Amino acid sequence: MAQATFHFPYGFLWGTATAAHQVEGNNTNNNWYAWEQIPGKIINGHKSGLACDWWNGRWREDFQRAAETGQNAHRLSVEWSRIQPTPDRWDEEALDRYLEMVRTLNELNITPMVTLHHFTNPLWLEEMGGWENEAFVGYFETFTRRVVKVLKDNVSLWCTLNEPNGNAVLAYLVGLWPPGKKDFAAMFRAVVNMVKAHAAAYHAIHVIQPQALVGMAINYRSLVPAKPWFPPDQWITGLFAMAMNTTFPLAAQNGVVQLAYKRQRIPQARATQDYIGFNYYTRDYVAFNLLKPGDLFAQRYFRPEAEKSLSGFLANEPEGMLEGLKWCMRFKVPIYITENGVEDPDDHLRPRYLAEHLHQVWRGVNNNLPIKGYFHWSLVDNFEWERGWTQRFGLWRLDEATQTRIRRPSVDFYEEICRENGLSANMVARYAPEAFAAIFPN
C-alpha cells in the first residue's frame, strides 16, 4: 500500500461552518421565519423551530466538541433581527451573547470567522422592500458598525455576505426563497444593492479595525458545457457562469456590476475584498434550451454516471473543487474555503467526498494557490432552508426531538485530518477506502 501524507501549510485553518438561523432556534423576527409559515414553501411543511438550540446555550457544547476534535477555526453568523429587532432599537443582550460566543472560541484556541448576513433579513427591513430598497445599504452599514465595535477584540476575519449570488437568484429570479419573485429587473436591483452593502460594510470595518480581513463567501458552481463542441452550449455556460459565479467577486475587484445585458458602475466597491470566500459543493453540465427562459435558457443536470447524494441534491464531483480554486486566482487575493460538504445521513458518502475534495485542495496548495483555510459544512445537522430537515450535512448527527448529538465516523476522520494538518494514506485506507486508489496510486 502506498504510504504518503499530503500536508498543508503551517497555520492552515481547519474548521466547520454554521449559520445563525439554521442553528440558533426560535428566530421569529426575520423573513425566513415568516416564509416558513406559508404552506408549501418548505418541504414537508418543516419549520426551523428549536433548530440546534444554540440560543439557549448548546453552542457551548458544540464548540467544545469542535475543539476536542482538533478544529482550530469556526465560521458562524450573527442574526441581524436579534441584534436590531426594530429600526430604532438595539438588543445589547443579544450582542453580549455573540461576544460570549467569540470569546469562548478564542479561549478554545479556535479562530472565529463571523458572517454578518447569512440570508436572513429582519422583518421590518423586509417589509420596506428588502434588498430591492437602496435604504438597505445604509441600514446594513449601521448594523455592521455596531457589531464590529462589540466583537473587534475577538474577531479579525469578517464575511459581509454569504452567497449573495445564490440568494439573488433563488429569491428574485427562481422564486424559491423569500420574497419569492421571478423578475430579472428585481434581481438586478437586489444585486446592485448587495454589492453596495458589501462595499459599505467593507469600508466601515476597516475604519474600526484596519487590520481586519474582509470578504464575501461566493457559491461557486462548476459549470461545463453539455456538448463542448456546440457553440450555443458554450455560450449559455459562459453566460450562466458569469451570473452565478463571477458577478459579485468581479464587482468587488473592479467596481462594476455586470449581469447578462445589464451593467452598473459602483466605484466604491472597487478593491473591497481582502480574500475570497469559496463555497463549493458540486458541478453541473449545461445545455442551451429555449424552453428555459426563467433559467436564462440554461438546462442544468448532473453527469449521469456521477455518484449522487441521497436526495439527488448534489453530485460528487471533486475535480470541480480544483477548477474553482484556480478560478479564484483571477481575483488576486487569498482564498478561504468557507463551505464544502455533502448531505449524507448514514455517513456513507461523506468520508469519500471529504477525502477526494481535500485531495483537490492539497493539489491547489501544492500549485502555490494562496489557500488559507477550509471550513466543512457543517458542524452539526441543521435546518437547510427550503429543504427543511430532509438533508443532513453535519459531522455530528442531530436528533432534533431530543437535541442529542450523535458522533458520525466522519468526526473521527476530520479530527485526524485537523491534527495532522494533512491527509494521509493511512487515514484514507481506514475511512474512505473506495477513494484510496485514485488519491494514492501506486
Q: Report pLDDT digits (tens) over 230-278.
A: 999 999 999 889 888 999 999 999 999 999 889 999 999 999 999 999 9
For the question of whether the overall pTM of this predicted structure is more than 0.95, the answer is yes
pLDDT at 376: 98
Question: Is pLDDT of 442 > 80?
Answer: no
pLDDT at 244: 87
Residue 246 is placed in which grid cell?
463571477
Q: Report pLDDT digits (tens) over 119-133.
A: 999 999 999 999 999
Residue spans of beta strands (DSSP E) within 70-211: 73-77, 111-117, 157-162
Q: Which residues contact 114 (CB under 8 A, 6 or more apart)?
A: 75, 76, 77, 78, 102, 147, 151, 155, 157, 158, 159
Which band of pLDDT confidence, cut at 50, 70 and 90, is reported for residue 1? low
Residue 50 is placed in which grid cell?
428549536
Give Cα separations from 310 to 348, 391, 393, 408 (angstroms). Answer: 10, 9, 11, 16
Q: Which residues contact 351 (CB under 8 A, 6 or more apart)?
A: 409, 410, 413, 431, 432, 435
pLDDT at 240: 85
Which band of pLDDT confidence, cut at 50, 70 and 90, is reported for residue 72? very high
Q: Report pLDDT digits (tens) over 400-439.
A: 999 999 999 999 999 999 999 999 999 999 999 999 999 9
Q: Report pLDDT digits (tens) over 265-301.
A: 999 999 999 999 999 999 999 999 988 876 778 899 9
Question: Is pLDDT of 25 > 80?
Answer: yes
Does 378 sit behind a cis peptide bond, omega within 30 degrees of 0 on the bond before it? yes
% of the chain residues with pLDDT over 90: 94
Question: Is pLDDT of 44 > 70?
Answer: yes
Q: Report pLDDT digits (tens) over 135-157.
A: 999 999 999 999 999 999 999 99
CATH number of 5-439: 3.20.20.80
